[in-house]
Amino acid sequence: MPFDSPRHDWTKPEITDLYTQPLDALVAQALEVKRANWPDGALQKSQLLSIKTGGCPEDCGYCSQSAHFDTGLGAEKLMPLAAVVEAARRAKANGADRFCMGAGWRSLKDRDVPKVAAMISAVKAEGLETCVTLGMLEDGQAETLKQAGLDYYNHNLDTSPEYYPTVVSTRTYADRLETLAKAREAGVKLCVGGILGMGEGRDDRIGLIHELSKLTPHPESVPINMLVPIKGTPLGDSPAISVTEMARAIATCRIVFPKSWVRLSAGREGMSEGEQALCLLAGANSIFVGDRLLTTDNPGEDRDQALLDAVGFEASSHDAMEIAHKTTLIDAR
């Protein structure tokens, strides 16, 4: 198969065949694709900050920030600019190359656009790649964020279209796709993935990857999250998904999205060093660092460095990795 040519005609049976093959064959194929497109032994560190926490009117069954559930998390106001900049500087000092800002909103209000745009510009000025997740977008908002220096807009599909209504009732799958289209039309890169372990079946995990594969062009960033159960949410008692299933999803994404970042995202706090290593070997080339991931715990700096030492990986910038990525493709030709 052509490892440097993303396909937009994947069928669900084809992705099923990839996902369900013996794990050694799947990981071997994913590594072949990764080595044809990305530098060996390098990954990008991203950090995520909640710039506005709690009080969200959505009923996403996994989320501690929903006003529908009693999770003990109160609603807070939007962080001041200076606090966001200070957090970005700390993240960069700790090796992060990408800084993501998330707000517990159903949608971005026009009155908040100038404040968020100022945060994006300030973080960009610190030399960091920028990403935001702010809920649904209205016409013209993505263009303003792009002008402020926004690189990526995160808006996950979460799961398959069939299972989605089990998880969320206040926002449709079509709503999510519409917001992604608005960001794409404004020239903003997309960060779109999902959450595993919400009670869905393997067919739903495959269905999520199939839906992502239909986006043209593919999302430049595909985060794969393991559910972190939150007490008080409808999914708070969900049984844990196996790490091998996470590795299958990551490896399949690496094959289907050869040029995209595949990010090992939420859930690392509950994984052992070996389990995280398996996910990296399956094709992930980015992790989220810092003690917190929005409102849930995340491994600290010491554990992250121990992980990188164990697998022999080094943190690298997006520029360096993407330049190496392009050089690899030229050399291969």
Let me know if 60 is a catalytic residue.
yes
Residue 283 and residue 11 in contact, taking contact as beta carbons nearer than 8 Å? no
Q: Structure tokens of 182?
A: 């608005």
Let me know if 253 is a catalytic residue.
no
Let me know if 63 is a catalytic residue.
yes
**Secondary structure element (H or E) that encloses residue 288, with its range:** strand 286-289
Q: What is the DSSP string of 35-89?
A: HHHS-TTEEEEEEEEEEE-S-B----TT-TTBTTS--SPPP-PPPPHHHHHHHHH
Q: How far apart are CA 12 and CA 209, in angstroms?
A: 9
Let me know if 191 is a catalytic residue.
yes
Q: Which of 131, 171, 176, 279 is catalytic?
A: 131
Let me know if 184 is a catalytic residue.
no
Q: Which of 63, 205, 248, 253 is catalytic?
A: 63
Q: Which of 56, 98, 253, 254 is catalytic?
A: 56
Q: Which of 98, 171, 191, 279 is catalytic?
A: 191
Q: Which of 176, 205, 248, 263 is catalytic?
A: 263
Q: What is the CA radius of gyration of the chain?
A: 19
Q: Max Cα separation, the chain? A: 56
Q: What is the DSSP string of 127-183?
A: T-EEEEE-SB--TTHHHHHHHHT--EEE---BS-TTTHHHH-SSS-HHHHHHHHHHH
Range list of H helices, 257-300: 273-281
So which residues are the catalytic ones?
A: 56, 60, 63, 100, 131, 191, 263
